[in-house]
Structure 1
Amino acid sequence: MSEFAPAPSGTGCGDCDEGGGWWFHLRRCVDCGRVGCCDSSPAQHARRHSEQTGHRVATSFEPGEHWFWDYVDETSAPSVPLSPPFSRPDEQPAPGPDGRVPADWRALLH
């Protein structure tokens, strides 16, 4: 087993991509690398992933953000070494993905 958390599953929320949805910000599961959308996003896939798998800690997958969150305790969590990349590509917009974000996206946030 690697000393680093698994690489991210992609550059966006895989569940949103499969369903044609969109996200506000992205989170990365430190247990398996699954990238999901944040709690402010309409579908909240990162939290759902945590609830369904028992993987309790995620980290931001946004450029320039370096924090970890424990979904069970609802508090910050200790950092762990990560495999790159550490965030979505800088050129990828947030919210995203480009072309699927509705014009009234701010009204749809949680």
Structure 2
Amino acid sequence: MYGLVTAGDHGWVSPRTLVAILVGLIGYVLFAWRIRTAVPPLVDPGMLRRWPVVRGLSLIFVATALMIAVFFLGSFVLQGLHGFTALETGLSFLPVAVGSILGSHLAGWVLPRWGVRAAL
């Protein structure tokens, strides 16, 4: 993440950006190696080869990216265009946070009783 953020200030081919991205990639490789060699792995690598798991992780990735984009760009719009203060902007995003909490609580109640299709 630091490499991607640094690219906006220093450019994609600056040494600072490239070193940060390289360090991040090395970290991913070391994490993958550690998971493969750990006796009780944090994540079973075989599980990541199952199609339903990959689809679920892909959906979570897209949903998270969209949520981050909404908060990031929404902050600019609310503060720059509409003149909200930082506190007002944070409070305007509060219903989304409360809805996420209530939705996850409700899904935890609905899933065991009615199944995945009803929750979806």
Q: Give the TM-score band, short-chain normalised.
A: under 0.3
Q: Based on CA coordinates, which of the two structures has the bigger radius of gyration? A: 2
Greater per-residue helix proportion: 2
TM-score normalized with structure 2 length: 0.20
TM-score normalized with structure 1 length: 0.21
> Which gives a bigger RCO, structure 1 or 2 (Cα 8 Å, sep 6+)?
1
Greater per-residue strand proportion: 1
